[in-house]
């Protein structure tokens, strides 16, 4: 494939070297003549193990060349990768001047180009950037229509400095955000030989995936540091602790806890978060991330309440009261907190939870239910149909399989609020179901 790469910084230079090594004809483009001179000499403009050899081989085989002529590079290629920088502004937002400039250059050349061209954004950009910035500029400057006259896609990179070549050749996944199927097909053909899953999504999803991965990595570093600081203060080696924590691939390093949804609860997580952060405070150890966990959890309960309140309906059915399905444990259940908020604001609340209903009569939690939350338990109703039929708003509170059908087929005239992720998408056929964070 004939590929032009705009921006020969870290990402662009690595992509140029790796793509040319795989037999593609690559034109590297940059406004810096010094970088272009280095590329054409087969030298790397950045320090990255193995990159110099790839660039040198690309020049020798004629698969790689550099130029400052944007127009010539676009005319000579079928696909352009935008790899320019997106530095931070003082307020934290992204500076998009470089991307906007490149898009204008590409757009003006596309105006005169008859063959189909595909523009791929490799730069890290916030969700909405391609739809609200990139595509409008390309269409305005070219006079053509995205997805019809030219292709657009997003292809976030997951390259770590000092291991970039290995990361390119052995990625955990390849993410393609496609504006149109033809663009996704073109990109997929670039990566099919790599031994990694190719994931094709809408453009905004791909943009968000990149940010989510990076912020998750930052969270993990911060989490490990705060655990290490507390561990040191109590005379424990935090490295030893985290080494064992990371050996658990079933829960600690899995997708089990990584699903957006409602707040956490139960007898363990809230209690243990509070205990560890309290101990940190007594040791004068700062733990800003850990200290924020309970506040964030409370805010997710408030988010659920706000969604209910926004419906302007007063008859509410809460399906599920225990903090998760398959248990009658109500200790620190966020659904109990939500129920109390609804009661306090005067909503006509009815609750269905078969496990809690059983526990109210027979279970070990009978005393807790009677002594701690009698005002909530008095609203329990064992008749599922009566609870659903007597409501205007139905809250799916835990993952009891009996509730799943309501998520994708809301009863006529009723609003369904999904807190657990039963919805198969972000919208339903009748538009009456809303997810808490989707």
Catalytic, 213? Answer no
34-52: pLDDT as tens digits: 999 999 999 999 999 999 9
Task: Write down all domains in the chain, each with its CATH number in brackets.
Answer: 2-212 (3.40.50.720), 297-435 (3.40.50.720)
Nearest CA to 169 among 319, 49, 294, 3?
49
Residue 353 — pLDDT band, cuts 50, 70, 90? very high
Q: pLDDT band for 326, please (50, 70, 90 cuts).
A: confident
**Span 140-181, pLDDT tens digits:** 999 999 999 999 999 999 999 999 999 999 999 999 999 999
Residue-level pLDDT at 389: 96
- 387-432 per-position pLDDT tens digit: 999 999 999 999 999 999 999 889 999 999 999 999 887 766 666 9
Confidence band of 369 (pLDDT split at 50, 70, 90): confident
Query: Which candidate in 15, 18, 268, 437 is catalytic?
Result: 268
- Give the pLDDT confidence of 225-242 residue by residue, as tens digits: 999 999 999 999 999 999
Give the pLDDT band (50/70/90) at residue 364: low
Asked whether 104 and 137 are in contact (CB, 8 A), the reply is: yes
Interval 370-389: pLDDT, tens: 777 888 888 999 999 999 99
């Amino acid at each position: 494939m004939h590929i032009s790469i705009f921006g020969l910084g870290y990402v662009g230079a690595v992509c140029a070297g790796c793509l040319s090594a795989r037999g593609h004809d690559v034109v590297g483009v940059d406004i810096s003549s010094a970088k272009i001179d280095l590329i054409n000499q087969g030298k790397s403009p950045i320090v990255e193990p193995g990159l110099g050899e790839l660039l040198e081989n690309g020049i020798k085989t004629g698969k790689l060349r550099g130029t400052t002529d944007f127009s010539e590079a676009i005319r000579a290629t079928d696909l352009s990768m935008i790899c320019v920088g997106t530095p931070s502004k003082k307020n934290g937002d992204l500076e998009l001047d470089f991307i906007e400039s490149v898009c204008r250059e590409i757009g003006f050349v596309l105006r005169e180009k008859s063959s189909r061209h595909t523009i791929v954004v490799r730069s890290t950009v916030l969700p909405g950037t391609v739809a609200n910035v990139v595509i409008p500029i390309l269409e305005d400057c070219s006079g053509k229509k995205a997805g019809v006259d030219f292709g657009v896609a997003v292809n976030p990179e997951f390259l770590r400095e000092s291991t970039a070549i290995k990361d390119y050749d052995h990625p955990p996944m390849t993410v393609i955000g496609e504006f149109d199927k033809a663009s996704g097909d073109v990109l997929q053909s670039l990566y099919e030989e790599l031994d990694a899953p190719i994931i094709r999504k809408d453009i905004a999803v791909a943009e968000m995936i990149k940010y989510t991965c990076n912020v998750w990595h930052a969270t993990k570093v911060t989490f490990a540091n705060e655990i290490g600081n507390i561990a040191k203060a109590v005379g424990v080696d935090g490295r030893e602790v985290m080494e064992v924590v990371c050996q658990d691939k079933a829960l600690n390093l899995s997708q089990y806890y990584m699903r957006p949804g409602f707040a956490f609860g139960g007898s363990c997580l809230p209690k243990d978060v509070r205990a560890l952060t309290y101990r940190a405070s007594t040791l004068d150890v700062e733990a800003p991330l850990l200290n924020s966990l309970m506040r964030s959890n409370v805010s997710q309960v408030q988010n659920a309440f706000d969604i209910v309140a926004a419906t302007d309906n007063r008859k509410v059915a809460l399906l599920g009261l225990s903090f998760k399905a398959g248990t009658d444990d109500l200790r620190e259940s966020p659904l109990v907190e939500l129920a109390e908020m609804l009661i306090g604001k005067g909503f006509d609340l009815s609750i269905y939870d078969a496990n809690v209903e059983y526990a109210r009569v027979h279970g070990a939690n009978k005393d807790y239910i009677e002594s701690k939350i009698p005002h909530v338990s008095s609203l329990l109703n064992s008749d599922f149909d009566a609870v659903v039929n007597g409501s205007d708003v139905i809250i799916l509170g835990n993952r009891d399989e009996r509730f799943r059908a309501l998520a994708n087929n809301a009863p006529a005239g009723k609003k369904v609020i999904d807190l657990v992720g039963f919805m198969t998408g972000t919208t339903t056929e009748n538009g009456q179901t809303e997810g808490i964070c989707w």
